[in-house]
A and B are shown apart, each in its own frame.
Chain A
Amino acid sequence: GNSVTQMEGPVTLSEEAFLTINCTYTATGYPSLFWYVQYPGEGLQLLLKATKADDKGSNKGFEATYRKETTSFHLEKGSVQVSDSAVYFCALTLNTGGFKTIFGAGTRLFVKA
């Protein structure tokens, strides 16, 4: 079936460290891929997206590349800040009826000053 698997957290980093959060997916057809971020007590916000193979989504220093050959969409940032502490969700939207979105379990990131 369709699914999203992302690395378990929590991930704890020091400020200015390099961040990678792995995400792999299983899907029929050609889904669109997204990263969403959730700050404490809030809903989700779109961080970035990619809609086809080899597309790179980027926003606020975060990047992720749609790798069809490895069915992956890993999130990276070169230098994290304390304000990046949040839960990050990898997600895919199927291009079939209903356009459902399937979310990964989420990865909690703590950034220490």
Chain B
Amino acid sequence: GAVVSQHPSRVICKSGTSVKIECRSLDFQATTMFWYRQFPKKSLMLMATSNEGSKATYEQGVEKDKFLINHASLTLSTLTVTSAHPEDSSFYICSAREGGFVNQPQHFGDGTRLSIL
């Protein structure tokens, strides 16, 4: 089946550091990828929709200058958390939908646990 690879799985870094998270669709092309943030024991909060070759669409309340998204190819999207602070610590998950139809499920990466000291 369709596989989405997310890297790294865990990051621990100092406050002020910028962190890049990669999301790759391994065996299918994804024109659209999604980035979520999940707080402990909470549901997924959609941060932005990443569109190949164009600007990402951010959800209300998400700072686009803080969370930079680049979708340079049909198999790769990156999320960069710029000048990260402790409040950015969270579990970040990417997903991609195979094909452009509503009835197709999303395939999720295994997530990245980001801890800012």
- Whether A108 and B41, one on each chain, are in contact in the complex, defined by CB atoms closer than 8 angstroms, is yes
- Whether A43 and B110, one on each chain, are in contact in the complex, defined by CB atoms closer than 8 angstroms, is yes
The tally of residues in B whose CB lies under 8 Å from a CB in A reads 26
Known A42-B110, A42-B111: A51·B43 in contact at CB below 8 Å: no
- For A104, the closest partner residue in chain B by CB is B43
**B38-54 to A contact mask, C-beta < 8 Å, 1/0:** 00011110100100000
**Is B6 an interface residue when CB atoms closer than 8 A count as contact?**
yes
- CB-CB < 8 A to B95: which residues of A? 43-44
- Whether B105 and A46, one on each chain, are in contact in the complex, defined by CB atoms closer than 8 angstroms, is yes
- CB-CB < 8 A to A49: which residues of B? 103, 105
Contact of B42 among A31, A43, A106 (CB under 8 A): A106
**Is B93 an interface residue when CB atoms closer than 8 A count as contact?**
yes
Q: Which of A15-23, A68-76, A77-85, A95-103 contacts B (4 or more CB under 8 A)?
A: A95-103
Give Cα distance in the complex from A66 to B105, angstroms: 15
- Whether B43 and A94, one on each chain, are in contact in the complex, defined by CB atoms closer than 8 angstroms, is no
**Is B57 an interface residue when CB atoms closer than 8 A count as contact?**
yes
Query: How far in angstroms is the closest Cβ of chain B from A51?
Result: 4
- CB-CB < 8 A to B41: which residues of A? 106, 108
- CB-CB < 8 A to A41: which residues of B? 110-111, 113
Q: List 20 A-B contacts (CB under 8 A).
A: A36-B108, A41-B111, A42-B110, A42-B111, A43-B95, A43-B108, A43-B111, A44-B93, A44-B95, A44-B106, A44-B108, A51-B103, A89-B43, A89-B44, A93-B106, A99-B101, A99-B102, A101-B46, A105-B42, A108-B41
- CB-CB < 8 A to B97: which residues of A? 99
Query: How far in angstroms is the closest Cβ of chain A from B21?
Result: 12
- CB-CB < 8 A to B44: which residues of A? 44, 89, 103
